[in-house]
Copies of this chain bind each other. A is one copy, B any other.
């Protein structure tokens, strides 16, 4: 397991994401730890992240799956390239398609656990499967189809 989350290695200009940017002071600060096979993250919802009283808002769940998916894609890309996170040039991915299935209500007074595996790496496109669980039960699953940002897009803000 890496000691630092992959998001620590995003360049400053790509670290302002509301979901996972370490430089977004209002954000959720999703942190993805990569163990060589899986991306792992935990998140404790805030009391106001409600759907219905006692349960987590689906939009938050989609957000967590989204950012943990792109983080896992970045970590896997470094591994495939045989490079350490932090080496240049940096890997950073954005989401092209996000599919989430809500399997059961997600309790809000629990630590949410996210696990992500890479289904496919195909050029700049990486597909990631994510599960979100609470108290040992899978509450939602997600598929995140991500694309590597190339430098030109960064300069255009894309």
Chain B residues near A98 (CB-CB < 8 A): 58, 62, 98-100, 102
Q: How large is the interface on A (under 10, 10 to 19, 20 to 34, 35 or more residues)?
A: 35 or more
Number of this chain's copies in the assembly equals 2
Write out, one digit per residue, whether chain A residues 33-50 have a CB within 8 A of any chain B CB (1) or not (0).
Answer: 000000000000010111
* A16 interface contact, C-beta 8 A: yes
Give CA–CA (A75, B118) in the complex, Å.
39
Write out, one digit per residue, whether chain A residues 1-33 have a CB within 8 A of any chain B CB (1) or not (0).
Answer: 000000000000110111101001111100000
Beta-carbon contact of B13 and A53 below 8 Å: yes
**Interface hit among A76-84, A89-97, A120-128:** A89-97
Beta-carbon contact of A25 and B48 below 8 Å: yes
Chain B residues near A105 (CB-CB < 8 A): 157-158
Give CA–CA (A19, B51) in the complex, Å.
8
